[in-house]
Structure 1
Amino acid sequence: MSTTNGCIRLSALAEKMRNKTVTVRILRLWIQKDMSGKEGIEMIVVDEWGDKIQASISASYKSNFLPLLKEGQITMMEKFQLVANKPNLQNAKINHACKIGLSLASKVSMPNENVKITENGFDFICFKDICMHDPTFVVDVLGEVQTPIINIDWVEFKNTKVSKSDVIITDTDGTRLTCVLWGSFADQLKSFMDSKSKEDKEPVIIALQFAMISKFKGLTKVSTMKNATRFFIRPDIQEVKDFIQRRGLRGEMSITSTTDISSCTQDLKNDKWFNTSLARTIKDIINSNEVGTYTCKGIIVDFHPTESWYYDACGNERCYKGIPKGSKVGDHCKKCNKPISKVIIRYCMRVLVEDSGEQTYFTLFEDCAFHLLKKTATQLLDEMESETGDRNGTPDILATLLEREFLFVVEVSMRFGTSASTSEDTKEFAKWILELSLSCFNSEMFGESTKKFRVIFYHADS
């Protein structure tokens, strides 16, 4: 299919075609080193139909073309070669069977006719479709930022530290997606969010063009690429206006803005789990088949009627796992596969939590329960025995937790073929750890798997 000036449509190009002409807008242009370290030119271009293709210029011809090319300009390309579009981890890959190669005989010039070509060339994908998308090809995503405070991590890469930030965004259907922003993209969003005024209540919509898909352990994310990706914050495009309109019709707001959590403790503001979570009810979390991090409020209304508030644990270093009642020093611990050096007492309080009429059990383990009660399980047990002569009752102090509201940050992950296990990552999570006791085994939804919930709590009225 050709235009009036004899140019062929990009989607019609095929390998081994010769003497074709295209009129395109250069969406992205960057300098790329080849395997030998020589610098060539890479481009992503779009035509008037919205079709895209990559174009490459080797280091041998870089000086011939670089003065004639500029990102954003419309140009006519003639007498180019078409080669197979092979995967390249260093480079973006557009969903096209081939790519343009400009060489000595090729020609670029300004078109004689006034051709209307989109300035952005966006082709946004629905988040639910990303998991089925070929990760070989780049994608465009548009979403609302759900991370009120942007935390920057530093990653060692080729002997250089690079800034990185994981940001949660949602589309108009409420589907969440993790975007991994690298380098200047992370710095750009952090600077924007930090400088937002309290009066600014508008949603923060971001667009990533030519983002890379990554899949790991069942999780799908998109991440920026150093050269190819284009990043926009609140871009002035029709798609954003449509997004905000559909978002309003959905009636679902983002979890929070930076100013909404101004009354929280500094620990809460800096906590990476809180700042990458979405607001959900307990019912939503239990019924959801999506892994991720969620925030919900709940009131502790009762304790489990039959289960104890503590358990006997192996005191061996880095073990602390449960052992059978009556175990003694010297008995064999099946968890660490060593003789038990000492028997210790640790919290395991199953509390009934209610949220919007839905109830479920949360389990408060050692670090979290100690933060609430300011005493170890051993101290409580000793005090109770001293006062009543009984080690089988329930300490009165536990009643102080009833009818109090807490803000829970729940991390939901999948563990296939095994039951959910207690996290002991105390170095990272310190006193904030607890874990939802509900394993939520559901063979119809998940097959032979269980859900694991890590819950990091913050007391709402403290």
Structure 2
Amino acid sequence: MAGNYVRVCDLDASKEDWCILARVVRLWNVISTERGSPVSAIEMILVDEAGTQIQAAVRKKYVKKFDRILREGPVYSLRNFTVADNVGDHRTTSHQFKIIIQGETVAVIKPDNLVPVFPLTFASFEDIVGGRLDTAYLVDVMGLITGLGTERQYVTNGTRTKMNVIELENSGIKLNCALWGRYNDQLNQFLLAGDTETAVVAIFGVKIKEFQGRKGLQNALHCTKLLFNPTFQEAIDFKEGMLRNLTSPSQGISRINDTHDISYVVEATIKHVIDMDDWWYNACNACNKAVYPDSVAYYCGDCDRRVVNVKPRYRIKVRVIDDTDSTTFVIFDRPAAGYFNRTCSEMIEMFEKHGGELVCPRDISDLVDKKFLFKMDMRNLTVGRFEPSYKVKRFTDDAVILARFSDMDSGSEIYNSDVSLNLTKYGNHANKAELVDPRDLMSQFSEAEPSDAAGGAYIGLGVDGNNVLGDEVVNLDGQEGRDEGLNIADADSVSMIAHKKRVTADPVSGGAGTSNVKILKQIKQEKNA
């Protein structure tokens, strides 16, 4: 490094007369709970000309002095500071040490060109869900907002804290991110502004959390930074890439929202299965709605009572695309069982025996990149703030049906409920011998059928089409305290919204987290029901 400056990578705790040249890439205030002292520290992330980052902190007694000097963005020369070990559960950089700015420290702004502006880098969603990142370090992420929870309040030591959850998508992988306190307020301000269509958010300094073996995100108490619809080049490139992958050139999926019909049929390709390890749920025997562990039994919200007898039902969320647009379809128990020609309990039993290291049955993963004819139930459309999803009533990949469907009208791929298909069965096992004139091809897709009682469509963060998070106040007094946000966010936000139904309990012991295999004895009777 030019002059007498030391490289950031060479800093250690051996002396106090260091001198470095670095850019302040992030700066935030640590807010105190004490009266008369709103800021207890100033913290920063610095980067030198080699791109090495290190965290720096200004202690409370020197905040007033450096609050007038230090800003996010400029290049500074810093001299006469101390160096301490970089420890803790939520570190902002991987450097072994961190800088402690003292009263004798001298900070002088230098020409901006002395330290380059480095491109922003974001953690891969694949690395996050794959557990390849050390959770002791905060990460920066960017994603397309595809779902929104419902705001909830928690009470800790008499203080109320609001929380909401957003769902982010990046490269076909979705993650839930819990936002607490002022970060929830920033989310509300963004929502009120109304610019939520294909919205992108960049989140700097976020924690990787885990609940029931599934990864999620949560803001840190002070250092997290949210940027909605950012304009830096990396965000522009990301959004263009996401839209390129999610949309394509006809008059297909793009017309679904224009319909006033009860049913619609569309030809589309499944591009990926959303949450591959989340393809079924436990259902109440009486109403087929999702149930949740409750002491020594399960609780059914629809029946408003505890139940003991439950059964597994399919709920497969897929991303589909045609040459006009893309969207999310949800395949519930009736059409899934018809297509696979096996009940959900049979699929679970087969998967437990032969699944090996797979995250879901091969029958389900093999849906990807196949073209299907889908019949959608528009009465169960769930429209969220960011993105709707649609319940699949029936679907097939039979080549003869697909060909005849295309022959009906080469200029359109969507037909309303007046167009019919005469099939005795649907899915893989359609009776081809009974196929008739193309004008009658859609009769089976159009006839009325009992509603799949799984509760409607899945929208982003919802469960069974219902808002799991409600306007209730949860008292956390006497429970685990807040650690830069509340650790309980994992259990009460991320998991409740997208994963709650996967928690199983042994009705005898009441133990949460019991393997799904252990409930097979309870549900095998459903195979012959």
TM-score calculated relative to the size of structure 2: 0.50
Q: CA deviation at 1:419?
A: 7.9
Which string of whole-angstrom CA distances, capped at 9 and with x for unpartnered residues, describes residues 177-229 of structure 1? Answer: 111112232233333334436xx75x211000011222222122111123211
Equivalence for 1:191: 189
Aligned CA distance change for structure 1 residues 82 and 414 (closer, same or farther; 3 Å):
same
Equivalence for 2:175: 177
Report the Cα distance in structure 2 between the residues aligned to 1:292 and 1:17, rounded to whole angstroms: 57
Report the Cα distance in structure 2 between the residues aligned to 1:66 and 1:153, rounded to whole angstroms: 35
Q: CA deviation at 1:47?
A: 2.8
Aligned CA distance change for structure 1 residues 150 and 25 (closer, same or farther; 3 Å):
farther
Q: How does 1:273-292 map to 2 (within 5 A)?
A: 284=273, 289-291=276-278
- Paired residue secondary structure (2:95): coil
- Does the aligned pair in 1 maintain the 2:45–2:92 contact within 8 Å? no
Aligned CA distance change for structure 1 residues 19 and 35 (closer, same or farther; 3 Å):
farther
Which string of whole-angstrom CA distances, capped at 9 and with x for unpartnered residues, describes residues 50-93 of structure 1? Answer: 3321111222333332222123332211121111012066xx53
Q: CA deviation at 1:6?
A: 3.8
Equivalence for 1:162: 161
Counterpart of 1:321 (choices 308, 325, 334) is 308
Aligned CA distance change for structure 1 residues 262 and 54 (closer, same or farther; 3 Å):
farther
Q: How does 1:96-135 map to 2 (within 5 A)?
A: 96-111=95-110, 114-118=113-117, 122-130=120-128, 131-135=131-135
Larger Rg: 1
Q: CA deviation at 1:33?
A: 6.3
Aligned CA distance change for structure 1 residues 359 and 139 (closer, same or farther; 3 Å):
farther
Equivalence for 2:137: 137
Report the Cα distance in structure 1 between the residues aligned to 2:46 and 2:86, rounded to whole angstroms: 14
Is structure 2 residue 51 aligned with structure 1 residue 50? yes
Equivalence for 2:237: 242
- Does the aligned pair in 2 maintain the 1:41–1:58 contact within 8 Å? yes
- Paired residue secondary structure (2:123): coil
- Paired residue secondary structure (2:177): strand
Q: How does 1:355-374 map to 2 (within 5 A)?
A: 361=343
- Does the aligned pair in 2 maintain the 1:76–1:110 contact within 8 Å? yes
Counterpart of 1:212 (choices 207, 213, 217) is 207
Aligned CA distance change for structure 1 residues 158 and 225 (closer, same or farther; 3 Å):
farther
Report the Cα distance in structure 2 between the residues aligned to 1:159 and 1:76, rounded to whole angstroms: 45
Report the Cα distance in structure 1 between the residues aligned to 2:222 and 2:108, rounded to whole angstroms: 25
Report the Cα distance in structure 2 between the residues aligned to 1:351 and 1:125, rounded to whole angstroms: 36
Report the Cα distance in structure 2 between the residues aligned to 1:181 and 1:353, rounded to whole angstroms: 36
- Does the aligned pair in 2 maintain the 1:166–1:180 contact within 8 Å? yes
- Paired residue secondary structure (1:146): strand
Structure 1 unpaired stretches of 5+: 264-279, 295-316, 324-349, 364-371, 373-398, 424-438, 442-447, 454-462
Identity, % of aligned positions: 20
Report the Cα distance in structure 2 between the residues aligned to 1:82 and 1:137, rounded to whole angstroms: 19
Counterpart of 1:29 (choices 24, 27, 30) is 27
Q: How many residues are paired up?
A: 318
- Does the aligned pair in 1 maintain the 2:280–2:344 contact within 8 Å? no
- Paired residue secondary structure (2:141): strand
- Paired residue secondary structure (1:110): strand
- Paired residue secondary structure (2:122): coil
Aligned CA distance change for structure 1 residues 67 and 420 (closer, same or farther; 3 Å):
same
Paired amino acid for 1:186: N
Q: CA deviation at 1:160?
A: 1.7
Q: CA deviation at 1:106?
A: 1.9
Aligned CA distance change for structure 1 residues 188 and 243 (closer, same or farther; 3 Å):
same
User: How large is the Cα RMSD of the aligned pairs?
Assistant: 4.7
Structure with more contact order per residue of length (Cα contacts < 8 Å, sep ≥ 6): 2
Which string of whole-angstrom CA distances, capped at 9 and with x for unpartnered residues, describes residues 289-328 of structure 1? Answer: 434999xxxxxxxxxxxxxxxxxxxxxx9654249xxxxx
Report the Cα distance in structure 2 between the residues aligned to 1:293 and 1:181, rounded to whole angstroms: 27
- Paired residue secondary structure (1:284): strand
Report the Cα distance in structure 2 between the residues aligned to 1:10 and 1:260, rounded to whole angstroms: 55
TM-score calculated relative to the size of structure 1: 0.56
- Does the aligned pair in 1 maintain the 2:92–2:139 contact within 8 Å? no
Structure 2 unpaired stretches of 5+: 261-268, 282-303, 311-331, 346-379, 381-446, 459-463, 465-497, 524-529
- Does the aligned pair in 1 maintain the 2:31–2:222 contact within 8 Å? no
- Does the aligned pair in 2 maintain the 1:209–1:229 contact within 8 Å? yes
Is structure 2 residue 253 aligned with structure 1 residue 224? no
Equivalence for 1:65: 66
Q: CA deviation at 1:26?
A: 2.2
